[in-house]
Amino acid sequence: MSGYLPYEITKSIEEVITDPELAKKVIEAIEKSLSSIEEKAKEQKIIIKHELKDELTKELVTKDELKATEERLRREIEEVRGEIKTTEERLRGEIRATEERLRTEIHRWRADTIKWMFIFWLGQIATFAGILIGVLKLMLK
């Protein structure tokens, strides 16, 4: 508001108050009051605006808080990646150790198998030789 009363209101006051000087003083007093009210409203608007901003700042996440949270999450992700890498390396070591134990067992099993096959063959050859000698003795008699 500019501090001036609309023409219709000014005319209504001048009609009710017939003394022009008194009417002018009443109109000026009303305009002054309206200007004062307008100034107070502007001051209150600024105060309310700051209070609202403060309230919203308390309620909403600020950019700094968001960046801090993002940085904390990045650090945690890197820690998890490090743990995963450590676990992966440990598991690879365990797999290599297990493979080595299996290879050793397979070699031992092969050696045992060859040993028992050799013993079996010797038994077969001895049995075959015994049968052959027995048949030859029977034939030579």
pLDDT digits 0-9 by tens, 18-30: 888 988 888 888 8
User: Is 50 exceeded by the pLDDT of residue 94?
Assistant: yes
Q: Which of 115, 138, 119 is nearest to 127 (CA)?
A: 119
Average pLDDT over residues 42-51: 90
User: Is 50 exceeded by the pLDDT of residue 45?
Assistant: yes
Q: Which pLDDT belongs to residue 81? A: 96
Q: Which pLDDT belongs to residue 2? A: 46
Residue 73 structure tokens: 């999450």
Say which DSSP state 2 is in: -
Q: 48-62, 67-81, 93-107: which range is least confident on average?
A: 48-62
Average pLDDT over residues 116-141: 91
Domain ranges for the chain, please list them.
Answer: 1-60
Question: Does pTM top 0.75 for this prediction?
Answer: no
Q: Which pLDDT belongs to residue 35? A: 86
Non-local (6+) Cβ contacts of 61 within 8 A are 69
Q: Which pLDDT belongs to residue 1? A: 40
